[in-house]
Amino acid sequence: MPQSRAASEIEMEEMYDMLIIGAGPAGLTAGLYGSRSNLKTVIIEKGLPGGELLNTEAIEDYTGFEHVTGVELARLMENHARKFGVEIKTLEEVTSVVRRDGAFEVTTSEAKYKALTVIVTAGGTPIKLAVPGEDAYAGRGVSYCAVCDGAFFNGQVITVVGGGDAAVEEANYLTRFGSKVFVVHRRDQFRAQKILQDQLIKNPKVEIIWDTVVDDIKGNAEVDRITLHNRKTDKKWEHPTQGVFIFIGFKPNTYFLEDHPEHDISGHLITNDRMETSIPGLFASGDIRSQLVRQITNAVGDATVAALAAEKYITHLRHIQASGTTPGSPA
Ligand SMILES: Cc1cc2nc3c(=O)[nH]c(=O)nc-3n(C[C@H](O)[C@H](O)[C@H](O)COP(=O)(O)OP(=O)(O)OC[C@H]3O[C@@H](n4cnc5c(N)ncnc54)[C@H](O)[C@@H]3O)c2cc1C
């Protein structure tokens, strides 16, 4: 029967204590703590270790590093995690996670695994405008993170694209850096909460460009202008700007979770303060988690909690297996 064939394939794989999905800052930190606690720990990464760090030119807000490139920080984090013996499998994508008989069966593009706990640190992907110049100028004027990159645009003209809560909130935040902040929105009203809209509209540094979309992003070494296009009048014009902040949505990478843990309206996983999701043994941390800010500092902080809480969960599981008692909550 197909079912028993699948089960025997899985049994051929080793059992891990902790399986971590994604080798960004959160995954590498969870891996460090898992392996340092002597747990059999594996990280599965569909690309290369570093996550969004590999797309980040310069980082100036990770405590202890006044300035570090994303690639360098990724290398340091990977080496540090490997020092404690974590296995890192790269270029291998997790395609399914199912909880069965108190453990997890994890299928990837290459193999099947079993694990007592899974920590999901698969991050998310900002939704792109998909216009010419967007990819070419990423990190050279185009950004998807105001807290990360706002300070690089001190005294310059910033253009925010979007009309939801994130766009309006981040536009408000960016007024502390930009000499002027334009907000380009494809409709004639925002979807954002009224209170955020009121703050934005009252700000003298802000100008809203309604019914308008971005056709392309241009410049030389860095962005210096974008082409705007009014959808109602069909008028097109070049709009000078140094920063283009795009907030049209962020899609958390949860597509491989077959059981559905609780999540917020945007699909980010809801956890308690131990980083436990609503599925026992399934933890989440970093950008995939429902939370106020998405930064490296809190991704690694959350991952520390997740790994240590997973360790307590495993200890508790082993204790109840040994004593034959009924499972309760780990202390
Ligand atoms: C352009 C940019 C600049 C930024 N600058 C800063 C900054 O200056 N300071 C700061 O603090 N923060 C910054 N951030 C935010 C910061 O990078 C994130 O908060 C942080 O990387 C989150 O870490 P994470 O491990 O949760 O997720 P990620 O870094 O997104 O890592 C997730 C990993 O999971 C992998 N993955 C996804 N799906 C699967 C799958 N199915 N199977 C296997 N692997 C999978 C991905 O390939 C990725 O490597 C920036 C973000 C961006 C996009």
pLDDT per residue as tens digits for the range 20-41: 999 999 999 999 999 999 999 9
pLDDT per residue as tens digits for the range 180-197: 999 999 999 998 888 889
Exposure letters 288-298 (e unless 16+ CB within 10 A, then b): bbbbeebbbeb
CA of 25 to the centre of ligand 1 (A): 7
pLDDT per residue as tens digits for the range 143-158: 999 988 999 999 999 9
Q: What is the mean pLDDT of residues 251-277?
A: 95
Lining residues, ligand 1, CB within 6 Å: 21-27, 44-47, 51-53, 55-56, 59, 61-62, 93-94, 121-123, 143-145, 148, 253, 256, 286-287, 294-297, 299
Tokens of 103: 């453990």
Q: What is the mean pLDDT of residues 106-122?
A: 97
Tokens of 279: 């599925």
Q: What is the mean pLDDT of residues 221-241?
A: 97
**HSE-CB for 288 with a 13 A CA cutoff:** 31
pLDDT given at position 328:
57
Among 79, 100, 87, residue whose Cα is nearest residue 40: 87
Among 213, 217, 212, 67, residue whose Cα is nearest residue 142: 217
